[in-house]
Structure formats: C-alpha cells, structure tokens
C-alpha cells in the first residue's frame, strides 16, 4: 500500500511539474535567432517558420517548422533548436545559384543539383555563367530542370562544379553546350575555350592557368582543348 502511495505521489508531482512547464510564462517564446541566411531576410524565415511569440517553447513542433521553412526553394538545410527558457534558434543553409539559363525573357537560376531556385530578369547583372543550348518545354521553381537531353545536363553540371572547385566560375560569362563534343566557354574578357566531354576538371585547371597567362600578356583568342596533348591556342587578330 505504501509503495502504491509513493508511486501515486511521484506521478502527481510529475504531472504538476508538466502542467507548470506547459503553462508557465517562463517558457513562453520571446526570442528567435536566425543564422546562416545570406539572401533571405530574418523576417522572411521567421514568417515561413510560423513561430508565434508567446507560445510555450515545449509546444513548438520542430518538424512542422522545418517543413514550413522548406517551402522556400532557396533553403537547402534547416536546423531548429530550443534554447531554454524562452528562445528558439533557426540555422539554415541556403542554396546558391551557380548558373543561369535564359527562358522566355527571364533567367532560371540553378544550383549545384540542377535545382531551379529562382527566376530573375535578363537585365540583372550576374557573376555566374549563362548556359546556352538547352532544350526544354517548362519548369517549376523548387524542382530540377528537365532537359530533353539528359547527357547534356550531366556534362553541364560537371563543368559548372569543376569551375566552382577551381574558383573560375566568376570569370566565365557564357557556356554553350549545344554540341557536347564541342562545348564552348567564353570568359568575360572574350577568351574562347573549346572542350569535349572528358577529363573536365583537369582541362578546367589547365584552362585557368592559360587564361591567367593570356590576361597578363593582354592577349585574346581561342583555346582548343578537344584533343589529347597540349591545348592549341589561336590568337585573335
């Protein structure tokens, strides 16, 4: 009987403590911290989260918050953390555009997973390459771009990732992938590079070295890297 009574007292105390936690103003949400955002504002992220100031911290549904925040296609990852007694932190990783694709008077911004994260105007200045040569009928923001020729897309993404890895993306103005055996890259200074689909990272590293040397000597022309062996350079007249 005494054991039962002690158990009852413990349960009663736990229930009382739980009621206190769920009703106490001490644990009501007063502060929301947002970190990791670059282009998305703190207010936009808080609005997406649907968090309400004054709500009990232990009634906050973290899975629901994450799902709501992911409605923005620019969000790549989210981590939610309760900070007792009255705060929540939202740490995000944004998707970054690595190329833009012209489409009916606008630009589709894609990230390193070929996901369309935004649509911008053609007049907007950008430091990432423009992709030409794709054929597709429609698109949806937040989904991968659907190109008629999948091999064409795969090669393009390999080139873009290679350019990013060697910090050459901002130097390239345009990439034409209409012919995957004669892919053409044009730098912002007007230097042309022609490559085919093999050893892309190695060729991009070599191209970067050649471009730097040409710029030092104030030369422009065509760098042909479609064949094995040393690249062929033809200077512009």
Tell me, what CATH number does 22's domain have? 3.10.20.310
Calpha distance 233→56 (Å, rounded):
68
Mean pLDDT of 169-198: 92
Calpha distance 104→110 (Å, rounded):
16
Residue 190 CB burial class (10 angstroms; 0-12, 13-18, ≥19): exposed
Scan for tokens 């064949």, then name that residue.
227
- The CATH number of whichever domain residue 113 belongs to comes to 3.40.50
Residues 14 and 84 in one domain: yes
Residues 86 and 126 in one domain: no
For the chain, what is the domain count?
2
pLDDT digits (tens, 9 = 90+) for 130-164: 999 999 988 999 999 999 899 999 999 999 999 99
pLDDT at residue 124 tops 80:
no
Q: How many CB atoms lie within 10 A of CB 71?
A: 9
Which of 44, 75, 94 terminates a domain? The answer is 94
C-alpha dihedral sign at 85, 92, 77, 29: positive
Which of 94, 123, 158 terminates a domain? The answer is 94
Residues 89 and 103 in one domain: no
Contact 92, 34 (CB under 8 A): yes
Residues 88 and 183 in one domain: no
Query: Is residue 108 left, alpha or beta, with left meaning phi > 0 and alpha meaning psi from -120 to 50?
Result: beta
Residues 40 and 119 in one domain: no
Calpha distance 186→55 (Å, rounded):
55
Residues 57 and 112 in one domain: no
Of residues 20 and 126, more confidently modeled: 126
Structure tokens at 166: 């060697």
Residues 54 and 90 in one domain: yes
Residues 131 and 206 in one domain: yes
Residues 109 and 200 in one domain: yes
DSSP reduced 3-state for 219? coil
Structure tokens at 144: 């991968």
pTM over the 0.85 mark:
no
Residues 106 and 187 in one domain: yes
Of residues 121 and 168, more confidently modeled: 168
Residues 114 and 222 in one domain: yes
The residue range of the domain holding 79 is 2-94
pLDDT digits (tens, 9 = 90+) for 184-194: 999 999 999 99
Residues 58 and 103 in one domain: no
pLDDT at residue 100 tops 50:
yes
Which of 94, 120, 149 terminates a domain? The answer is 94
């Amino acid at each position: 009987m005494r054991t039962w009574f002690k158990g009852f007292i413990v349960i009663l105390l736990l229930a009382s403590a739980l009621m206190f936690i769920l009703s106490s103003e001490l644990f009501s949400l007063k502060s929301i911290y947002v970190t990791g955002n670059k282009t998305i504002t703190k207010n936009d992220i808080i609005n997406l989260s649907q968090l309400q100031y004054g709500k009990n911290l232990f009634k906050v549904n973290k899975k629901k918050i994450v799902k709501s925040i992911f409605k923005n296609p620019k969000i790549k990852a989210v981590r939610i953390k309760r900070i007792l007694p009255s705060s929540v932190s939202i740490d995000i990783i944004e998707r970054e555009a690595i190329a833009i694709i012209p489409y009916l008077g606008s630009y589709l911004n894609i990230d390193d997973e070929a996901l369309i994260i935004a649509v911008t105007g053609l007049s907007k200045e950008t430091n990432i390459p423009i992709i030409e040569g794709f054929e597709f009928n429609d698109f949806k923001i937040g989904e991968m771009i659907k190109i008629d020729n999948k091999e064409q897309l795969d090669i393009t993404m390999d080139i873009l990732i290679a350019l990013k890895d060697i910090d050459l993306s901002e130097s390239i103005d345009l990439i034409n992938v209409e012919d995957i055996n004669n892919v053409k890259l044009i730098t912002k200074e007007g230097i042309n590079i022609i490559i085919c689909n093999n050893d892309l990272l190695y060729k991009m590293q070599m191209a970067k070295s050649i471009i730097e040397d040409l710029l030092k000597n104030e030369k422009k022309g065509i760098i042909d890297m479609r064949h094995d062996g040393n690249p062929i350079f033809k200077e512009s007249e």
